[in-house]
Homo-oligomer: A and B are copies of this chain.
Amino acid sequence: MIIDKSEIIENIQIADGIWQMVFKSSGIADRYLGAGQFVSILVDDNWEHPIRRPMSIADVKDNKVSIIYKVFGSVTQSLTQLKSEDYIDVLGPLGNTFNVDYNLIYPILIGGGIGLSPILNLSKSLAQKGIGVTTIIGAKTSNEHFLQHNPNNNMFLCTDDGTVGINGTVIEALNIVLKDIKNPKIFACGPEPMLFSIQKMLDKKSIPGQFSVESCMACGMGICQGCAIPNNNNGYHLVCKAGPVFETNEVRFD
């Protein structure tokens, strides 16, 4: 883990309100362990926003690190103002990685909303190893999608309003996909309600899975104890340190 003033190589809008930023950081690239890990960024020296913003790593190529972000509030808004050759203050890599025991299972990857970033990363890295996967990406509407719905290639998009891909949530898509698959294991990242629904479904069908979860973070490195998420033992995990990836039965959303 380091703090790096990283030069921005690219910062472009790729879908409605969704941006991709690529920055140079050999320090972070060298320490990177795999999909699931994240960085935490500081847009400027402004203390109106004292806290860094965590962003999943979407890709690492040589010394280039990518993130994909959605414009939510003021910090992600000012992030869009940065241009190539500007510098950004990045802490990372943080957290753990998905752990795909691919000999034993068939990976189904599910990304919803801004949760697609680690999922795309995982999908790409498994593809590079020649491992077959099925990927489901959910969004509210087609404008938020920047990928192609391609069932033949095991890439399923779905939208709440049916404007592209399957009409419905990722749960509906998952139900369709599951029909043809033996020994599935789910790898998912997305909003809490989505993960909660998936968790209930997997539980019922006794399908294993891993979630990359979110939580409000102040430090991202285990020193503030802010990022707690309930475990199944009347206690809490620290998402930034024990996570963000957990086995689906290790976390509680209720």
Contact = CB atoms under 8 A, between A and B. Distances in A.
Interface of A: 46-48
A213 to B, nearest CB: 31
Contacts of A46: 46, 48
A201 B171 CA distance: 84
A87 to B, nearest CB: 13
A199 to B, nearest CB: 39
Contacts of A47: 48
Contacts of A48: 46-48
A170 to B, nearest CB: 36
A243 to B, nearest CB: 31
A43 to B, nearest CB: 11
A48 B47 CA distance: 7
A48 B48 CA distance: 5
Nearest to A45: B74
A183 B247 CA distance: 89
A46 B43 CA distance: 13
4 contacts: A46-B46, A46-B48, A47-B48, A48-B48
Nearest to A49: B48
A163 to B, nearest CB: 33
A42 B47 CA distance: 17
A46 B78 CA distance: 11
A12 to B, nearest CB: 20
A42 to B, nearest CB: 14
Nearest to A50: B48
A243 B145 CA distance: 58
A50 to B, nearest CB: 10
A22 to B, nearest CB: 23
A151 B181 CA distance: 92
